[in-house]
Amino acid sequence: MTEVIVWSGWIGGLAVGAYALFQFAMSGKHLGVSTGFGNFCSYVSKLPFFHKGDYAQPNNWRLWFIIGLPLGGLLAALTSPGEMALSFSLGAMYDQVLPQALWAKGLLLLIGGVMIGYGARLAGGCTSGHAIAGLALLHWPSLVAAAGFFVGGIIAVQLLFKFF
Amino acid sequence: MKKYIFILFGILFGFILSRAGATTYDFYAKLFLFQDLQLLWVIATAATVGMIGVAILKNLQVRSVLDGQPLSFAGKPYTKSLIVGSLIFGLGWGFAAACPGTALVMLGEGKLGALFTIIGIVLGTYLFGRRGSRGHSA
């Protein structure tokens, strides 16, 4: 697995917060990622939901933003000292509790992904939109959502590591 | 044309997420087992910096650099499904050790498990769209 350089938490947070402000001041767009997954759906689905509102014009900034994200990951990996490696490993801790067989591990991640995608749309945003952009606006529904994210995460990981 | 610059913004944000540790699986386990709060500090610091910055931008009545429009400080609306949605999201966050942004960044780092997570996120978004399209003619 690729080992990337990790800054201390507060420096990382400073950079994330500064980035969110930079994007907002430059473009007037608040940070957000999960809505962009629906832009992708606009191209492969005829469902009315993906052709109105946020998705009336799917070739928008969100689409280009989520295309940039993996390239940012590639850049981060290439500028880290270790060799870049393609791997299905989830790191020491998760590999210990997740199934060894790739199909079973993949299925669990897929189900996790479905919960992330469905939950984000129900909540109206994800960690970026609610926990970073929303909290910066001191917007109370985002505080509720961020609390919900953490409660869900604690339940999932406690279950995973205590009972499997 | 403004939208194309977001590919650069995405690269920058993806790089920062990686350096912040948000693409390192172990930090998710350690966060929710209360062993190492790296990612909590990232979010808390980012939100604090954001609050200060938003207050300044509001005060200066800054216009957006790229299109000169006034900045909107409106947040996302509260809906009845927000709490249950955030809990479902959180469960997935913990199980898959990723969120929508970081899953994409992980893929770029060569962490291929994120492929399954990304397919799942698309599927979950699609399922929500199906529910939201009920009663319409396709």
Residue B110: its pLDDT value, please? 98
* B125: nearest CB among A25, A84, A121: A121
A57-96 burial, b if ≥16 CB within 10 A, otherwise e?
A: ebebbbbbbbbbbbbbbbbbbeebeeebeeebbbbebbbe
Cα dihedral A88/A93/A97/A103 (nearest 10): -10
Q: What is the pLDDT of residues B107-131, one digit of tens each?
A: 999 999 999 999 999 999 999 999 9
Residue B137: its pLDDT value, please? 44
CB contact under 8 A, B95 and A121: no
pTM for the predicted model, two decimal places: 0.96
Whose structure tokens read 């469960």?
B91
* A6: nearest CB among B19, B91, B130: B19
Q: CB neighbours (10 Å) of residue A142?
A: 27
Residue B99 has pLDDT above 70, yes or no: yes
Residue B136 has pLDDT above 70, yes or no: no
Task: Write out A90-144 in H/E/C secondary structure.
Answer: CHHHHHHHCCCCHHHHHHHHHHHHHHHHHHHHHHCCCHHHHHHHHHHCCCHHHHH
Residue B134: its pLDDT value, please? 76
Mean pLDDT of chain A: 96
Secondary structure letter of residue B111 according to DSSP: B
Interface-testing mutation among B2, B4, B13, B80, with chain A (most A C-beta atoms within 10 A): B13
Q: What is the pLDDT of residues B14-50, one digit of tens each?
A: 999 999 999 999 999 999 999 999 999 999 999 999 9
Q: What is the pLDDT of residues A32-82, one digit of tens each?
A: 999 999 999 999 999 999 999 999 999 999 999 999 999 999 999 999 998
